Amino acid sequence: MIVYEYASAYRNIYLKDPGEAPADSWMGQSYGRWDGDTFVIDVTAQNNKTWFDRSGNHHSDQLHVVERYTLVKPDVINGSRRKRIAAGAGVDVSDVNKILKMQRQMSDVMKKMGKGGRGMMGALGGMNPQMLSGLGGGMPPGLPPGFGGKK
């Protein structure tokens, strides 16, 4: 999911091809897949009411956008950026580091799930089943204050 600041808009990115969209929409239908270290998103089924620019140049409903996101290096969010994120969230830099570590770990699991069609249990491999017992809902334990809706 991508969340935008403007108008609290968001866009779901399907990781499994959902087939043809039921209707055209403002943000279209997004389908993402990994191509090596690049996350590729195909966006189709956009209505013809959006503009390319402020001059009012339009497109048709046949527009097909391909987005590519490549991680340049693992520490792309450097120290000064982490300090600004922490200050804006009202937390310590160590808390931001914990969240980024969790995101990297989840990213690794998601990549494993997508390779070879092994599914969720195959991706989790040798994980102790008792570790999975706490997945009944809610936020994971150990989140710093200010994350996950708790202050």
DSSP state at residue 139: P
pLDDT in tens, 37-62: 778 889 999 999 888 788 888 888 89
Lowest mean pLDDT across 24-28, 79-83, 133-137: 133-137
pLDDT of residue 44: 93
pLDDT at position 81 over 80: no
- The pLDDT-based confidence of 128 (bands split at 50, 70, 90) is low
Lowest mean pLDDT among 65-69, 105-109, 124-128: 124-128
Please classify residue 112 by burial: count the beta carbons closer than 10 Å to its beta carbon, then call 0-12 exposed, 13-18 middle and 19+ buried.
middle
Residue found by looking up tokens 């140049």 in the block: 57
**What are phi and psi for residue 80, nearest 5 degrees?**
-70, -35
Spatial contact of 31 and 14, defined as CB atoms under 8 Å apart: yes
pLDDT band with cut points at 50, 70 and 90 for residue 29 = very high
Q: CB-based contacts of 37: which residues, under 8 Å, 6+ apart?
A: 70, 71
Average pLDDT over residues 114-131: 54
HEC string for 58-85: ECCCCCCEEEEEECCCCCCCCHHHHHHH
Least confident stretch, 74-78, 97-101, 130-134: 130-134
**Which has the higher per-residue pLDDT, 114 or 125?**
114
Q: In the chain, where are the structural domains located?
A: 2-70, 79-126
> CA 98 to CA 119: how far, in whole Å?
26
